[in-house]
Chain A
Amino acid sequence: MATVNLTIDGKSIVADESKTVLEAALDNGIYIPHLCHHNDLHPNGGCRLCVVKQDGVDGVITSCSTKVKEGMVINTKDETAEKVRKLSCDLMFKTHPSECVGCPKYGKCQLASISQYVGDSGRDLRQQKLPLIENEENPLMLHEMYRCILCGRCVRACSELRGVGALKFEKIDGRMKVVINGNSLEEAGCQFCGACVEVCPTGSIRDKVGVFKDDPGLSREMTLVPCSEGCPAHINVPKYIRFIKEGNFPAAAATVREKAPFPESLGYICVHSCELQCKRNHLDGPLSIRNLKRFAASQDDGSWKEKAFMKAATGKKVAVIGAGPAGLTAGYYLKKLGHEVTIFEKLPKAGGQMRYGIPSYRLPREVLDREIAEIEAVGVEIKCNSDVKSATELKAQGYDAVFVSVGTHAGNKLPLEGNDLPGVYLNADFLRAINLDEPLPVGDNVVVLGGGNVAIDCAESALRLGAKHVVMTCLEAADKMTASEEEVTWAKEDGIVVENSRTFDAIESENGKVTGLTVTGIEGLKFGPKGPEFTRIPDSTVTFPADTIIFAVGQHPDIDEEFGLELNRGRVVTSDEHKTSEDGIYAAGDAVTGTRSVIAAIAEAREAVSEIDKYLGGDGNIEESLAPEQTLNPCIGKNEDLTKTHRNEPNVTDIEARKCNFEPMDLGFDCSKAGCEASRCLQCDLRVQISPQKFWSDYIEEEGGQQ
């Protein structure tokens, strides 16, 4: 490419001939104020802040719209240019509020930054404030156009970058304004991509509070792509959804697998924190991300395998205790890193809570078996029926490191009289027995204590084992239950009665046989440091008849001091690096955090693997690119129907057909539903591609002190 020589402020510069004077100056650390200019947008030269003096040319030129030419001599600090800049700045403040008080953009406002640089203070002109009208029509963005300085970046971003054109300039009552291009956002075809927000230099167009997290510890990408941020393993959600939209399902499955070795199981049972953070929650309901994952994973063709890394053997040996999601994940990556891995599992089969907790109507065992087989295929040895009593003793048997992932397989029992009667069960025991094919007997009337997903699993399982009448009761109010909304709905459909806001008083019995559970209504529930706090409602005590009672009020690891590790309230104590109290022994998953989720266990196990690998002398890197590269098309065009679509719900088996057996009841998506749902994605990651706004102080380092 051809280059030209020019001089800016006495400095000789060689620049590509395609550059503008402004670009050439900025590239060389010479700051020229500019506002309407944006890296990704065509120049329009409207703000007149970037004016400079060119030798031999009368007046001043706008540097953002003038291409460099051979021999050009530019003076950016010319007196006329500075006057013009000051006037431009004054003109912007003629309508812009002169005080920053109350503006949420404070500290990140380019106008403020420039006024500081140019030296304006905007008081020479009579102020003409605009009416203080907010437009809250857009559920994701706030338009406070009385702060608008008409730089037109939003209009250009919407049309040039996105091909949407939902914003336009229009003269209203003799004054130019930026308005929505149509009678409504729908008509304008707004895609809610946020490009306008991203380029707005002032506080005029902003994200509504709550759409994105305001956490300085998050990168720009994690802030702007809330689904990926919400996923503990940070799976690239927009990427795999885009693959699904394109019909490339194996690529989608591979994208998930880059961060988690159980794509399909997660597709069935993930707690989907991603969906809770989906930007579309503010429109018409989140993307059904989990079901999309499930469909894609079911179409996996294994093509990712050729891209998966496999390091040479290191000669190091690692023992993993517990073959649940954390242990299997750790074993998988440790083996891929070249370490010899043996997983010790107490129960007859691998899978942990995915097999012995989560009922088979939620997660078909053939799916789980298939995914565990992939892990064994890389050479991980799983020894079942091997109960490890002590982690330290195991390590002493010649392992270089030990990873503890024993999960929480012991249920919590509340101190109620009669809690040891026959017919009183603990969640973990009850569910495990079913999956060992030795179900515990249930009577006609079953009461489950607890309001989480495990409580629902217990209630639904009891129903499937033949109970006639199942009641779930918990402290939490209906809207505060920890169980997912969907599961509660299904449970109610199946005839399970949910009694919220109750405290448990006593287990009633006659002749050593359970007859019921007495509860009292409560209000004002809070969880303080000493446990739940609430007020009992007088005269609200009732007894639910029961011949079987199941405690589903939490679980803890089934280990004690003999295990050789420091414990706190029964859980394994670890450092931020997943180290336990013993050198070379690491831990993660439910055993450390208490009962959480499969995806959290996977994410934590991955972190622990990196630490273990570093401990064993490796670099700790387990990142891999299994999916093909993807080209994002930022030009998304109008979509007038965007808000007319709705979240696709999965096909579900009829109530009567599902509540008497352990067959899968949520049938997920078919191909067309998956495609439809995937096309609802707002592609939040497109916004990350837009160049971040820069400030004059970003250039000072190069310039070495200002004017």
Chain B
Amino acid sequence: MENLKTQLVVIAGGPSGLSAAVQAAEDGAEVILIEKAAITGGAANMGMGPLGIGTKYQQQQMIDITVEKAFNMFMDYTHYNVDARLIKRYFEQSGETIEWLEDLGVEFEGAFKYFPQSEATWHIVKTGNKIGPRAAGHMNKALLNRAQELGVKVLLETAGKKILKDDEGKVCGVVAVNKDGEEFTIECKAAVIATGGAGCNKEFILEETGLEQGKDMFNFAIPGLMGDGLKMAWEAGADHLPVRIEQACDLGGGEEASGSVKNVLRQPNLIVNKFGKRVMNEEYAQNTTYLSNVAMHQKDKVLYSIVDSTIVKSYVKNGVDVTSLVTPDPDVSDFYEGMDEVVSKGSKNFFKAETIEELAEMIGVDAEVLEETIDDYNDYCEGRDEEFFKNYRYLRKLRKGPFYCGTYHPGGYGTVGGIRINENCEVCDKDFMPIPGLYACGADSCNIYDDSYMFLLPGNSMGYAVNTGRIAGMEAAEYIED
């Protein structure tokens, strides 16, 4: 494989890398984008759209969300533990980014909430079909098309291995390896790292977070996300910030189960811990970050969602209580088949029991305590939830077997954070000094959540990716020009 030469190398072609490549090319840079997978788009092909603040959709929908409000919400939520300058620049730019995407031919359905308590910042990509998963694949395709039009050279099935620096410490090349395992060098003036974290790297996650995948943590292990960019950046001198899991609770410990089974067990009914006690107002379980945090604090890091036959019967007949954009369909009519299937496979995470006593035995919870908890809960259902103040609409009694149960574990998307950047997406060393020519964006650089993902402003992951990608692209193009 021959060595190549360009001005800017973008390492990985998810939404952050694609945005960086397009932005840099629009600003006049010569760009090579390398992507390890056979398809561009990264994890975002599964997603639905980015965050935007102050967009025309929000105006049209009369949604009151401003940069000021979002910024203050965000800083309150994170207790100012994060880089305010970067947050400000990201939010400020996010509205214009929606228009920028529209100029590329991306269409949006509008601005949406993820769940009732959140703000409508989520700009879901229009596909011509109903709203649902994988919509953002269309955005990624538009970004790729634009990149190609602008002359960006896209090398697929090509992974980045190492950032090269010259004697002055400036980036001067990227070592890459193609699908035949051949190593080659791309000489360049600047590089953008955008490899999306290390969600699939079990050892890496254990080392960086102390969490064992499959035991403490059931995050999406998206193939290929091995922490390539983090390792490259640290090796090149970047400050090593904490790597965290972007938490979103897992139902079922990674076991496949039908949509109806998961939908029913995600409804805001009774949730207990290993001691058979309630631990939260279950209506907040819709905020999957909160729920994951709750699970993280329990014995064995586990929670149990329990429903009875009456509740299921009502859901099967009338649809579930709460839907979200990710599970928009209230219909769960095939719940029984799905449940029987997963139970008959000897599931360790989904249970069906004729009595509470039997269920308690299955999940290893003290039967007397669980019965007591359910008695109290049923009392609350007749009046008000004196324990955790849940809304009366979600108070449904558990009376009649069979009872169905699913386990919650801490879960999440991939990892976020690890590379120190400033508001210009320049990678910085321990002294906060930029490494000349090195930029990072997207999950590799996403140190903005501190301990909990900010679900109240949905679309944050992809919004951060696209916007920091653009920032990295425009800053890199300017650096190259100088």
Q: Are A132 and B132 in contact (CB under 8 A)?
A: no
Contact residues of A between 88 and 146, Cβ < 8 Å to B: 98-102, 104-109, 112-113, 115-117, 119-124, 127, 129, 131-133
Q: Is B148 an interface residue (CB 8 A)?
A: yes
- The complex places the Cα of A705 from the Cα of B144 at a distance, in Å, of 9
Residue from the list B132, B148, B156, B342 in contact with A705, Cβ < 8 A? B148
Chain A residue nearest to B37 (CB atoms) is A107
- Does A700 contact B140, Cβ atoms closer than 8 Å? no
Whether A116 pairs with B342 at a CB distance below 8 angstroms is: no
| Inter-chain contact B148/A704, CB cutoff 8 Å | yes
- A706 within 8 Å of B (CB atoms): yes
- Are A222 and B132 neighbours in the complex by a CB distance under 8 Å? no
With A216-B159, A220-B179, A701-B154 already in contact, the answer to whether A121 and B127 are too (CB < 8 A) is yes
The minimal Cβ–Cβ distance linking B223 to chain A, given in whole angstroms, is 5
Interface size on A, residues (CB 8 A): 43
Query: What residues of B have a CB within 8 angstroms of the CB of A704 in the complex?
Result: 148
| Contact between B181 and A132, CB atoms less than 8 A apart | no
For the complex, what is the distance from the CA of A222 to the CA of B156, rounded to whole Å?
A: 19
When distances are taken between beta carbons in the complex, the residues of chain B under 8 Å from A116 are 39, 41, 45, 137-138, 140-141
The interface residues of chain A lying within 8 Å CB-to-CB of B180 are 219-220
- B254 at the A interface (CB under 8 A): yes
Given the known inter-chain contacts A121-B135, A124-B129, A697-B144, please indicate yes or no for A132 contacting B39, CB distance below 8 A. no
**B341 → chain A closest CB, angstroms:** 6
Within the complex, the shortest CB–CB distance from B12 to chain A, in Å, comes to 11
Minimum distance in angstroms from A200 CB to a CB of chain B: 14
The residue from A109, A129, A706 contacting B258, defined by CB atoms under 8 A apart: A129
A115 contact from B130, B137, B145, B254, Cβ within 8 A: B137
Complex: how many Å from CA A309 to CA B167?
43
- Any chain A CB within 8 A of the CB of B257? yes
Does B259 have its Cβ within 8 Å of any Cβ on chain A? yes
Complex interface: chain B residues within 8 A of A109 (CB):
39
Contacts of B254 in A (CB 8 A): 102
- Tell whether B128 is near chain A: CB-to-CB under 8 Å: yes
Please report which residues of chain B, range 373-429, place their CB below 8 angstroms from some CB of chain A when the two chains form the complex: none
Task: Give Cα A115–Cα B129 distance, bound, in whole angstroms.
Answer: 13
In the bound assembly, the distance between CA atoms of A65 and B311 in angstroms comes to 53
Q: Mark A32-48, 1 if CB is under 8 A from B, else 0.
A: 00000000000000000
**What range describes how many residues of B lie at the interface?**
35 or more
Q: Using a Cβ cutoff of 8 Å, how many contacts connect chains A and B?
A: 127
Determine whether A485 belongs to the interface, using a CB cutoff of 8 Å to chain B. no
Bound-state CA distance A158–B127 (Å) is 37
Does residue A532 face the partner (Cβ distance < 8 Å to B)?
Answer: no
Residues 116-145 of chain B, each 1 if its beta carbon lies under 8 Å from chain A, else 0: 000000000001111111110110110011
In the bound assembly, the distance between CA atoms of A301 and B52 in angstroms comes to 75
Does A217 count as interface, using CB distance less than 8 angstroms?
yes
The docked-state distance in angstroms from the alpha carbon of A124 to that of B132 is 11
Question: Which A residues lie within 8 Å of B141 (CB)?
Answer: 116-117, 706
Interface mask (B19-44 → A, CB under 8 Å = 1, otherwise 0)? 00000000000000000111111100
Q: Does B2 contact A (CB under 8 A)?
A: no
B202-221, CB < 8 A from A:
220
Whether A102 touches B256, Cβ cut-off 8 Å, given contacts A216-B177, A695-B156, A697-B39, is yes
Judge if B361 is at the interface, Cβ distance under 8 Å.
no
Q: Which residues of A contact B235 (CB under 8 A)?
A: none
In the assembled complex, B285 has its CB within 8 A of some CB on chain A: no
Looking at A107, A220, A698, the one whose CB has the most chain B CB atoms below 10 A away is A107
Q: Can you name 18 A-B residue pairings with CB atoms under 8 Å?
A: A99-B133, A107-B223, A108-B37, A112-B45, A112-B134, A113-B39, A115-B137, A121-B129, A121-B132, A132-B345, A217-B161, A217-B181, A218-B181, A219-B181, A697-B40, A701-B153, A705-B149, A706-B144
A residues bordering B, Cβ < 8 Å? 98-102, 104-109, 112-113, 115-117, 119-124, 127, 129, 131-133, 216-220, 222, 693, 695, 697-698, 700-701, 704-707
**Extra 12 A-B pairs, beta carbons < 8 Å, given A100-B46, A106-B37, A132-B256:** A98-B132, A99-B134, A106-B224, A112-B134, A121-B127, A216-B36, A219-B179, A222-B181, A697-B156, A700-B148, A700-B154, A701-B153
